[in-house]
């Protein structure tokens, strides 16, 4: 079965390409607003399901994913601008937060993976430098663990690939369940 990746994320594309999974890209264009009172995990799952449903085509498995950063109960999406990026990085500084990525294959099911990440205490200068670098501009929580912010991550408990945006073990299990041709088959 063919695979449709319903995401514009270059990180998700790179993961699948490096594994040798064949796919086409068809980013889903959906409303990504969190509903009033919607829990973080439920929100990520809903987004993954809606993205995969938007990419559904005959004879293909549609893979949707959504990654969120959660501090306390607040979902930190992509920063609106550099000031918003600084605000988010200040919130994450010297503390632990959760990264939740939900992955869904349309018509099959969704899974959500949670990883805990702890940042070192960041100085104002480090926060300004990270935000002004643009490294976290299009990333939940205004940072990329595989980018510059990785220098300030003290600990990751759980899946690193989840923090980057695609929990590989769970994604590959879903793809296999959906009948997608994996390179080792």
* Domain layout of the chain by residue ranges: 2-178
Average pLDDT of the residues in 79-91: 97
Average pLDDT of the residues in 38-61: 96
Q: Is the pLDDT of residue 155 over 90?
A: yes
Average pLDDT of the residues in 17-46: 96
φ, ψ of residue 172 to 5 degrees: the values are: -65, -40
Q: CA 20, CA 35: separation in Å to the nearest integer?
A: 37
Q: Identify the active-site residue in 66, 81, 84, 124.
A: 66
Q: Is 65 helix (H, G, I), strand (E, B) or coil?
A: strand
Q: Is the pLDDT of residue 13 over 90?
A: yes
Among the listed residues 105, 106, 100, the one whose alpha carbon sits nearest the alpha carbon of residue 173: 105
**pLDDT given for residue 107 in this prediction:** 85
Q: Is the dihedral of CA 134, 140, 144, 146 positive or negative?
A: negative
**pLDDT given for residue 15 in this prediction:** 97
Rounded to the nearest angstrom, the gap between the alpha carbon of residue 164 and the centroid of all alpha carbons in its chain is: 6
Among the listed residues 112, 113, 152, 156, the one whose alpha carbon sits nearest the alpha carbon of residue 135: 152
Residue 79 near residue 61 (C-beta atoms within 8 A): no
Q: Predicted confidence band at 94 (pLDDT cuts at 50, 70, 90)?
A: very high
Asked about 138 being catalytic, the answer comes back as no
Residue 23 near residue 60 (C-beta atoms within 8 A): no
Q: CA 152, CA 94: separation in Å to the nearest integer?
A: 9
**pLDDT given for residue 124 in this prediction:** 98
Q: Is the pLDDT of residue 156 over 90?
A: yes
> Structure pTM?
0.95
Q: Predicted confidence band at 134 (pLDDT cuts at 50, 70, 90)?
A: very high
From the options 1.20.1260.10, 3.90.950.10, 3.90.79.10, 3.30.1330.10, give the CATH code of 2-178: 3.90.950.10
In this structure, the number of other CB atoms found within 10 A of the CB of residue 20 comes to: 9
Q: Predicted confidence band at 141 (pLDDT cuts at 50, 70, 90)?
A: very high
Residue 164 near residue 157 (C-beta atoms within 8 A): no
Q: Is the pLDDT of residue 89 over 90?
A: yes
């Amino acid at each position: 079965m063919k695979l449709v990746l319903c995401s514009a994320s270059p990180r998700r594309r790179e993961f699948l390409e490096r594994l040798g999974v064949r796919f086409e890209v068809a980013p889903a264009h959906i409303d990504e607003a969190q509903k009033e009172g919607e829990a973080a995990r439920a929100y990520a799952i809903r987004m993954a399901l809606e993205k995969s449903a938007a990419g559904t085509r005959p004879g293909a498995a549609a893979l949707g994913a959504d990654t969120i950063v959660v501090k306390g109960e607040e979902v930190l999406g992509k920063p609106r601008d550099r000031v918003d990026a600084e605000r988010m990085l200040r919130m994450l500084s010297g503390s632990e937060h959760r990264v939740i990525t939900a992955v869904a294959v349309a018509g099959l099911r969704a899974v959500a993976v949670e990883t805990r990440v702890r940042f070192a205490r960041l100085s104002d200068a480090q926060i300004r430098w990270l935000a002004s670098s643009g490294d976290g501009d299009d990333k939940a929580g205004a940072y990329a663990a595989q980018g510059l912010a990785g220098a300030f991550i003290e600990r990751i408990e759980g899946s690193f690939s989840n923090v980057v945006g695609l929990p590989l073990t769970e994604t590959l299990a879903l793809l296999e369940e959906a009948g997608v041709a994996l390179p080792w088959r």
